[in-house]
Amino acid sequence: MSVPNRVKRMLDEQEVGYTHHKHAPAYTAQEVAGAEHVPGREFAKTVMVTDGDEFVMAVLPATRKIDLPNLRKIVGNKKLRLATEDEFKGLFPNCETGAMAPFGNLYDLPVYVDRSLEEDEKITFNAGSHQDTIQISFSDFERLVEPKLAEFSESL
């Protein structure tokens, strides 16, 4: 089963309203936001961090970058660093590398969401490919994923 179908199935089972879009291939969060005609602050990018053994999913707006020292404090792991694509690509079967949806709960991964994403009613995110996105309300996302909300980003 592909990740878009896996995410869609969960949304359908939970009776969550969502919009699924396809667009021309785009690889950076800002490119995807542009292709979807949504403000970068409403596009939730997923960044993987690791200490070499364990992985953490960090979710933040396309317009921001991780404040890694602050995220280390929040997670309580001084060794956290950005994970390479080679390190995490096997964690998301049937998903294009770098296009995973921010649903770490589907993969038994802790999810940390930057509080700045709470500022808008809806968020849009990659849905398993570099051409698929899903848009849902932030409140539904928060209810389904149960992420840890914290401030760990800064402007690009």
The pLDDT tens digits of the residues spanning 60-80 come to 999 999 999 999 999 999 999
Buried b (16+ CB within 10 A) or exposed e, 63-84: bbebbeeebbebbeeeebeebe
Return d(Cα 143, Cα 104) in angstroms, integer. Answer: 13
Higher pLDDT, 87 or 8: 87
What's the pLDDT score for residue 4?
59
Q: What is the pLDDT of residue 5?
A: 74
Mean pLDDT along residues 18-23 = 94
Domain-by-domain residue ranges, the chain?
3-150
Percentage, residues of the chain above pLDDT 90? 91
Query: Over the stretch 123-135, which tens digit does the pLDDT of each residue have?
Result: 999 999 999 999 9
**Which band of pLDDT confidence, cut at 50, 70 and 90, is reported for residue 20?**
very high
| Most confident residue range from 1-5, 92-96, 138-142 | 138-142
For residue 130, count other CB atoms closer than 10 A to its CB: 19
Checking if the pLDDT of 118 tops 50, the result is: yes
Classify domain 3-150 by CATH number: 3.90.960.10
